[in-house]
Structure 1
Amino acid sequence: MSDVGPTAVLPRRPLTVGELLDAAVLLLRDQARVLLPLAVALALVEQAVLYPVRLLAGAHPPGWWPAGGESFGWYWLLLAAGAGTEAAIIALLGNPAARGGAAALLGHRRAPSELLHEARPGATLLAAGSVGLAVGLAGLAGPAWFVAYGLLGLVVPVLVLDGVPTHRAPGRAIRLAGRVGGRAAAVRLLGYLGWWLVRVGIGLGVPYGLGLLDLFDVSAWALPVAVVAQAAVNALAYPALACLDAVLHLETRMRTEGLDIRLSRAPAGVPEPVLLAVER
């Protein structure tokens, strides 16, 4: 199997940080027909789940800032709940993203239906729920969120691609993210920061921009406008971050486990799960 080249979604070699970010965008472009519809649905569900907590926190659109200091406890809970839901959604989208990334690494083209076929949905739901809960609880502790988010991003890619038992996936994911001085965890946090700036800019910019145009009474439509704007930008950010997790997982394995060398030496006709399995 020869290298699919520098213009591939995921070349078979260790990548720079810039190349990792580019590879994530290319993977999202290739798998948009699967990832974007799923992301839209999950982003809308997230908005519905968070709305009651926003009411308790006294947070109002478009900025969702609390009305007063007396509701700070509820607002802190809202931040933690939001951290947990977004981590769970990214993990869920990590299943098809990881399968798409593996296909790109092997030079295959996958139809959208193939990305969801035999995708271990039960194990993925359990893993995503566990990741979301862990990140949400870490969010309650403030700075601990950085550690939890950085280290737990590879759980679903490990579960889907590496062929390890479900109970071993979190431990292996943490070890992978912590290798080379925590490189994968740091790049994951960098990607999150970049998309967070985009999400804040669009989430606030759209309502305020419509208000400046004075086309209609934005104050009367503040809630639906803010919800739609946030759901729309999240529906792009979440699959992009899931694709970053997918390429980080595979690149870390190439960098630290010689996955690229194994693939180059594998005989023709070996099934994809066998090629990528950690234990054979």
Structure 2
Amino acid sequence: MPHAGSIAVLPRRPLTVGELLDSAVLLLRGHAGALLPMAAALALLEQLLLLPLRSAVGVHPPLWWAPFLGNLGPMLFLLAVGAATEAMIIMLLGNPAARAAGAALVGRPIGPRDLLRPGNARWGATLLLCPVVGVTMLVASLLGPTWFAAFALLGAMAPALALDGIKAGRAPGRSANLALRVEGRAAGLRLLGYLVWWILRVGLAWGLFTGLTTLDLIVAEWAVPVAVLLWALVNTVAYAALACLDAVLHLETRIRTEGLDIHLSRAPVEASPATLLAVRG
């Protein structure tokens, strides 16, 4: 059984909600060297891409929010674009996070170089479906409450590609199917994880910006660059953590509903991780 310190990263058994959240944090801690730099680059790129749109809408740091009725349409579009970009980033991070979780589950440690190496990583399929996730989240966000359903059902896209060995066209259906099992348990837990990290992100970014402003450490001309960097910083950790949650939730759902733990206990020791974790049938 793989461990990080005295706690199992991903035990081969169904987990409680608390254990799932702990496993995601442990997975991130064990592979921060690979996941955080990638998350930082993507989070900063996201902030830079959103900056012109934020300027056009007329919102200001630190929250980039303008709840005025006359600005409601552009504001909703800005939020929808942000929802699409963060969903795509979480999916991209989900590829190495899923492979790290799979390696932990089968007891084959994997290093940062192996996680970022393109060989046998299904990066092509991941990049192919990334815009699909983005467009889906954009449309769902523009429709309002449908964002919750779309986000809840898309969490297993990257793990389904990187671990299950299925074709790209089957990944959306596979992800939705897993999310709805056990009365929608995985779907609900993905939303819970997002809510927890959303509160942390807003609190940290707003608190740090407000604190620096109160101490007169931010001049007016630097308010936007500082806010961009602060949001990129907090999103770096949040996006990587959510990708790790998707990974452990995917494998735990397979253990809970497909008997993956039993399959692994009976599999030949010399079998490769790809063979051990591939969906059968």
* Distance in 2 between residues matched to 1:161 and 1:103, nearest whole Å: 10
Q: Kindly indicate whether the alpha-carbon contact (under 8 Å) linking 1:8 and 1:104 is maintained by their aligned counterparts in 2.
A: no
Partner of 1:185: 187
Q: Which amino acid aligns with 2:171?
A: A
Secondary structure of 1:142's aligned partner: coil
State whether residues 86 and 239 of structure 2, in contact with CA within 8 Å, keep that contact through their aligned partners in structure 1.
yes
Q: Is the 8 A contact 1:4 1:12 kept in 2?
A: no
The answer as to 2:79 corresponding to 1:72 is no
| Equivalences for residues 70-219 of structure 1 within 5 A | 70-117=70-117, 118=119, 119-217=121-219, 219=220
Rounded Cα–Cα distance in structure 2 between residues aligned with 1:273 and 1:142? 39
CA contact (8 A) 2:48 2:228 kept: no
Task: Assess if the C-alpha contact under 8 Å between 1:13 and 1:254 holds in 2.
Answer: yes
Q: Where does the alignment leave 5 or more consecutive residues of structure 1 unmatched?
A: none
Provide TM-score, normalisation by structure 2: 0.95
Q: What's the CA shift for 1:214?
A: 2.2
CA deviations over 1:37-90 (Å, ceiling 9, x no partner): 000000011011111211221111112122843222111000000000000000
Tell me how far apart the structure 1 counterparts of residues 178 and 92 of structure 2 sit (CA, whole Å): 19
161 and 209 in structure 1: CA distance in 2 versus 1, 3 angstrom threshold: same
Task: Give the conservation status (yes or no) of the 8 Å contact 1:164–1:279.
Answer: no
Aligned to 1:15: 15
Question: Equivalent pairs: percent with the same residue?
Answer: 58
Structure 1 residue ranges, 4+ long, deviating more than 6 angstroms after superposition: none
**3-state SS of 2:165 partner:** coil
Aligned CA RMSD, in angstroms, stands at 1.4
* Cα offset, 1:98, TM superposition: 0.2
Comparing 253-262 and 266-275, the one that deviates more:
266-275
Determine the structure 2 residue equivalent to 1:38. 38
Q: What SS does the aligned partner of 1:59 have?
A: coil
Evaluate the alpha carbon distance shift between residue 100 and residue 216 of structure 1 in structure 2; reply closer, same or farther with a 3 A threshold. Answer: closer
- State the Cα distance separating 1:197 from its structure 2 match: 0.4
Q: Which secondary structure does the structure 2 equivalent of 1:191 belong to?
A: helix
Cα offset, 1:220, TM superposition: 2.8
Tell me what 1:25 maps to.
25
Separation in 2, partners of 1:88, 1:168: 18
Structure 2 gap ranges (5+)? none
Deviations 1:96-147 (A, max 9, x none): 0000000110112111111133212221111222112111210001100000
Using the TM superposition, give the Cα deviation of residue 216 of structure 1 relative to its aligned residue in structure 2, in angstroms.
Answer: 4.6
2:132 maps to amino acid = S
Alignment coverage as a number of residue pairs: 277
